[in-house]
Chains A and B, each alone.
Chain A
Amino acid sequence: MPRLFIAMLTILLGAAVAESARGQDKKMPLAMEELPCTFCHLCENPTPRYLCLRRCPRTSAASIDRKMSLKRGPDLVYLDELENLYLPVPFDHKGHAEMAKMTEGCAVCHHYTPEGAAHPACISCHEVSPKQRDMRKPSLKAAYHRQCMSCHREWSHETACGVCHPPKAGGAKSGVASRRPTKDDIVGKMHPPIPEPHTEIYEPRSKPVPGEKIIFRHKEHIHRFGLKCVDCHREDSCSRCHEKGKEHKQQTRTLAEHHKPCSTCHNVDDKNACDRCHWKEGESKPKPFDHASTGWPLSKQHVELGCRACHKRVPFHKLARKCDACHGDWKPDTFDHAVTGQVLDENHEEADCANCHANRKFDAPPKCDECHDEDDGIAFPAKRPGPEVIPSHRKNDKSTGG
């Protein structure tokens, strides 16, 4: 039993006791001897005139899971009744319902559902105003937060408001726009970090073909391509990892469904491209991605970068083959020329880039003839516009020859 919900209100456990006390016959009244008097009565010696009954109706939470099926529940619910300092919370109902299935079920949150009714909205009992008529019943805000934090804080011991609450524009330093947040704004942000798997070679599980293998380089996708776990594992059920020891049936899926996580970036319909991932034992393994195959081999400065440094959007698109496509913002006063190994002296430091790098083609040798006469013998690299230093990206590199 995961520890997630240990912190749940004990009254819920009480509800479970009440449920088991009812046994098979739901008409049977609560078995009194199984419950402490204080479960219902607030005072020690209730009298018929002064019953001092608790107002909390949690005991009626029974049988909720039999009535409610996960499929009928919504995928996403906007919690926006209290929107004030933050934007509404896009609540991943489906994900949470799946998690709840592993513990006490829907009643973990929907603790009160009268017989034959749909779940009443939280707001129908919990008052919006923090000035409570009944101090024993949490306000709507408190009810939400206690419910969420009882698990969310259990994992991380952190109180990170921003995980669920996208800030309003103007309020945040991050410059997040004041738009209605979507599930993507939070899904996956909350999950504690998972160590990346070392496995690279997998066996096809749905239709095993003897000797057929699949390669998937987790490290490459995470570190080079800059993907997050949820980018691919979006549809995975939580129980796949969290219900350890339980046999998980292989779902029957169509080929398209099977390839869905890959198809965002890879053209999975191209029959000639199967061998990028699929291969037969004995043949040579598919090679990792090499940028040279795009016709643009990466120079030393670029080879260490993650793809996202230049290709901002997923799936990655071809960029214009111009330095300016990425380096359009290089200007004499913002670019520290020393990183290239060439310091500019005071005569050159304010010159426009294009004066030496014709058409801002930074990969071509610089030209001096824009300002200097070649007849005077001024040409790069015989004459330099300042002292030479070790370029920053080669400082730890012994063989500076390459």
Chain B
Amino acid sequence: MNTNRRGFLKIAATAGVAAVAGPSDARAAPVRRISDDWLGMLTDISLCIGCRKCEWACRKANELGPPDEPIQDYEDMSVFKHHRRTDAKNYTVVNRYPPATPGGNPVDVKKQCMHCNEPACASACLVAAFRKTPEAPVIYNESVCIGCRYCMVACPFTIPAYSYDDPFTPAIKKCTMCFDRISKEGGIPACAEICPEGAISFGKRKDLIALARDKMRDKPGRYVDHIYGEHEVGGTCWLYISPKPFAELGFPELDTIPRPALTKTFLSAVPLVLIAWPALLMGAHAFTRRQEELGKDDKAKHSEKD
């Protein structure tokens, strides 16, 4: 099964590159192979205590709130009564879910952009406001945003948020994996730095996957056997391990198909048509269909295994 899946991924990745590398499509971020040097984050949900300090640190680091916002304000746990979404002022939010076992601790989940290996937001964007950096974080250039909100529709994790502050200068906002901070020597994302439990690890994606596997092996029974983000939508650079099935924690159940392959056909189709490349379009479409079938196949096998 594993070999099958890896084989499939390899094919998919190579094919994906082949499919879009042909035309030097300047609007969408280039899709590249998963790199061993890609950075990433791993959230160990079993360690998170729901202290919301990551929310505070994120707002401070990204100057989303008042400059001297008291950290004690984030000790207010009444926010957990409602399920919250990320928005233009909160790139990350923590939500609380019922315990994994009766009488246990509630399960708290920090949510933010997943930094997809092949970001749908980037390929959906008409003006290339989003960019997958060579280091892995998916960042954006809000000044070119035209406010079409294709990215909001395209993102499988409903992450990008629209800033409504000013209708004439639209801006899309989301977690950047603290790109500015980590670009500096020794810098680490603000949320990972403040997390009192060390629930958020920052490092190379490849090492984080190894770390996640070690954690699972070291503490049998503590985690469900799934690294969320390892394969979902072609893999993401923010990974999660959890004591409770992901479906019960608000994580969408997704296949392993990179979203750009799907969104390209309907969101970016118009300019392609303008450049009059119908043959390629047909090819890409057929390829997507094929991938879809492969994806279903893969998923079916996966659930058989479960």
Residues of A within 8 A of B (CB): 9-11, 38, 42, 85, 130-132, 135-136, 138-139, 141-146, 149, 153-154, 157-162, 167, 171-173
Cβ-defined contact, B72 with A131, below 8 A: no
Residues of A within 8 A of B217 (CB): 38
Interface centre among B72, B99, B187 (most CB of A within 10 A): B72
Q: How far is the CA of A142 from the CA of B194 in the complex (A)?
A: 10
Cβ-defined contact, B219 with A130, below 8 A: no
Q: How far is the CA of A149 from the CA of B199 in the complex (A)?
A: 13
Q: How far is the CA of A167 from the CA of B188 in the complex (A)?
A: 25
CB-nearest residue of chain B to A160: B75
Interface centre among A38, A42, A143, A145 (most CB of B within 10 A): A145
Q: How far is the CA of A280 from the CA of B196 in the complex (A)?
A: 57
Cβ-defined contact, A173 with B72, below 8 A: yes
Cβ-defined contact, B75 with A161, below 8 A: yes
* Interface residue? B249 (CB, 8 A): no
What 1/0 mask marks residues of chain B from 196 to 214 whose CB sits below 8 Å from any chain A CB? 1111011100011001001
* Interface residue? B137 (CB, 8 A): no
* Interface residue? B66 (CB, 8 A): no
Residues of A within 8 A of B192 (CB): 130
Cβ-defined contact, B218 with A172, below 8 A: no
Residues of B within 8 A of A130 (CB): 188, 192-195, 198
Cβ-defined contact, A131 with B51, below 8 A: no
CB distance from A103 to the nearest CB of B (A): 19
Assuming the A-B contacts A130-B188, A153-B105, are A146 and B47 also in contact, with contact meaning beta carbons closer than 8 angstroms in the complex?
Answer: yes
CB-nearest residue of chain B to A139: B198
Assuming the A-B contacts A130-B188, A172-B72, are A135 and B105 also in contact, with contact meaning beta carbons closer than 8 angstroms in the complex?
Answer: no
- In chain B, positions 65-122 with a C-beta closer than 8 Å to chain A are 70-72, 75, 77, 99, 105-106
* Interface residue? B280 (CB, 8 A): no
Cβ-defined contact, A157 with B211, below 8 A: no
Cβ-defined contact, A159 with B195, below 8 A: no
CB distance from B188 to the nearest CB of A (A): 5
Q: Using A143-B198, A153-B105, A171-B71 as known contacts, list a sample of 5 further A-B pairs with CB atoms less than 8 Å apart, ordered by residue number in A.
A: A10-B222, A130-B194, A131-B188, A138-B198, A141-B196
Query: Which of A131, A157, A167 makes the CB contact (< 8 A) with B186?
Result: A131
CB-nearest residue of chain A to B182: A131
Q: How far is the CA of A248 from the CA of B214 in the complex (A)?
A: 45
Assuming the A-B contacts A10-B218, A131-B188, A141-B196, are A159 and B201 also in contact, with contact meaning beta carbons closer than 8 angstroms in the complex?
Answer: no
Q: How far is the CA of A171 from the CA of B211 in the complex (A)?
A: 36
CB distance from B107 to the nearest CB of A (A): 11
Q: How far is the CA of A38 from the CA of B219 in the complex (A)?
A: 11
The 4 closest A-B pairs by CB, nearest first: A142-B198, A145-B196, A159-B49, A138-B198
CB distance from A161 to the nearest CB of B (A): 6
CB distance from B143 to the nearest CB of A (A): 31
CB-nearest residue of chain A to B74: A161
CB distance from A395 to the nearest CB of B (A): 32
* Interface residue? B295 (CB, 8 A): no
CB-nearest residue of chain A to B46: A7
Cβ-defined contact, B203 with A135, below 8 A: yes
Residues of A within 8 A of B201 (CB): 132, 135
Can you offer 14 A-B residue contacts whose CB atoms are under 8 A? A130-B192, A130-B194, A131-B187, A142-B199, A144-B196, A145-B196, A145-B198, A146-B197, A149-B197, A157-B106, A159-B50, A161-B75, A171-B70, A172-B72
Residues of B within 8 A of A145 (CB): 49, 196-198
CB distance from A381 to the nearest CB of B (A): 50
Query: Which of B70, B75, B199, B214 makes the CB contact (< 8 A) with A136?
Result: B214
Residues of A within 8 A of B75 (CB): 160-162
Q: How far is the CA of A394 from the CA of B27 in the complex (A)?
A: 77
Cβ-defined contact, B219 with A154, below 8 A: no
